[in-house]
Amino acid sequence: LKFELTVLGTSSALPTSKRNPTAHLLNVNERFFLIDCGEGTQLQLRKLKKPFNKISHIFLSHLHGDHIFGIFGLLSTYALLGRRNYLNIYAPKDFSTILDFFYKNFGAGVNFKIQHIPLNESSENKIFENKSMEVFSFPVRHRTPTWGFLFKEKDRELNMKKNLVKEYNIPVSQIHRIKKGADYFTENGDVIPNEQLTLPPYQSRSYAYITDTIWMESLTEMIKGVDLLYHEATFLEEDKKRARETCHSTARQAAIIAKKAQAGKLILGHFSARYKKIKAFEEEAKKEFYKTYIAEDGDIYEVPLVRAERK
């Protein structure tokens, strides 16, 4: 049961020889979620041997070119590969213009349904849900309407100890109740306490993606306790003024968000091409939040499956 993030691109608006424009791929138990789609995303997916035909949900934070110019090539490739599966694209409402342009000029051969789900302004909006997880969008503040995303596994039930099911001959009808915390009453009236029958559940895991925003302390509430936080750090604190002017964040600001949100790990990316030594971002952020990592193209971050403590 994987929960694994692959960072496909880590540059800001200007790519460099080592950093492609922004895109992330989240693998939750072999369901793949693409987040942003800068130029070259399909090429990165190929190079990193990702099963990109398994992507059915794409999340676009905003409509600046460095976050979306890869969408045309990806859609064209899906068409050429004969894709039939639907594709949901969660994106700002004006993405419809971009999609129209694509259909009109390059849409021949698209035999799959592309559904554009416009993001909305509510501060905690559930945009996707399946049996085991949920995705939320929340607005951030940039020069154009922009959103962050939170990917979160649902709480799991207690795990039955399988050998005891057999030993006590527990009927299937009871197992559902026990998994929710009930004790087991045997036919002759004995009570087997729940904690003897079950193991605590695996903790639900989560990933938050926050890019292209001015520093917003209020975001910490939304992402409280997140395991993996990606936060843009376009600038260093010495260029804090420039960060504010261009609606971006500094490494220190990102780290303060991580600290206040009690995140597990902080991943920094979207570095301005003006900085030659990216190490400085790590040093600056670590002063506020030690578990800070500098994202490089191709990096993989896995959140392991860990049992909760017995309450």
Single residue of 6, 7, 10, 15 touching a second copy by CB under 8 A: 15
290 vs 115: CA distance, rounded Å: 41
Of residues 2, 31, 72, 160, which one binds a second copy by CB under 8 A? 72
- Minimum CB distance to a second copy smaller for 47 or for 287: 47
Per-residue contact flags (x/-) with a second copy for residues 187 to 216, judged by CB under 8 A: ------------------------------
Site membership for a second copy, residue 81 (CB under 8 A): yes
Listed ranges 70-78, 187-195, 224-232, 251-259: which one lies at the site for a second copy (CB under 8 A): 70-78
DSSP, collapsed to helix, strand or coil, labels residue 204 as coil
Contacts of 66 (CB under 8 A, 6+ apart): 11, 12, 13, 15, 21, 22, 38, 39
The reply on whether position 276 binds a second copy by CB under 8 A is no
β-sheet bridge partners, residue 59:
35, 90
The position carrying tokens 């975001």 is 219
Calculate the alpha carbon distances from 148 to 208, 237, 241, 273, 306 in Å: 7, 22, 23, 23, 26
* Strand ranges in the chain using DSSP code E only, listed in sequence order: 3-9, 23-28, 31-35, 55-59, 87-91, 114-118, 125-129, 133-140, 146-153, 159-160, 184-185, 191-192, 198-199, 206-210, 228-232, 265-269, 292-294, 300-302
Q: Binding to a second copy (CB under 8 A): which residues in 98-157? A: 98, 101, 105-106
Active-site residue, from 66, 212, 227, 297: 66
Tell me whether residue 17 or residue 169 sits nearer to a second copy (CB atom): 17
Q: How many positions of this chain bind a second copy (CB under 8 A)?
A: 31
Whether 268 contacts 293, CB under 8 Å = yes
Q: Does 42 sit near a second copy (CB under 8 A)?
A: yes
Shorter beta-carbon distance to a second copy: residue 49 or 311: 49
Closer CB to a second copy, 64 or 231, in the complex:
64
Query: Helix 279-286 vs helix 251-260: angle between axes, to the nearest 10 degrees?
Result: 40
Pick one of 5, 70, 255, 303: the residue that binds a second copy (CB under 8 A): 70
Torsion sign across C-alpha atoms 112, 113, 119, 122: negative
Which residue type is seen at 164?
A: L
CB of 34 to a second copy, least distance (A): 15
Cβ at position 52, least distance to a second copy in Å: 11
Q: Compare residues 16 and 122 and give the one whose CB is closer to a second copy.
A: 16
Contact residue for a second copy among 80, 191, 300, 305 (CB under 8 A): 80
227 given a catalytic annotation = no
* Rounded-to-integer distance, Cα 75 and Cα 162, Å: 46
Neighbouring CB atoms inside 10 A of 75's CB total 24
By beta-carbon proximity to a second copy, the closer residue of 92 and 148 is 92
Which are the catalytic amino acids? 66
Binding site for a second copy (CB under 8 A): 13-17, 20-21, 39-40, 42-43, 46-47, 49, 63-66, 69-70, 72-73, 76-77, 80-81, 97-98, 101, 105-106
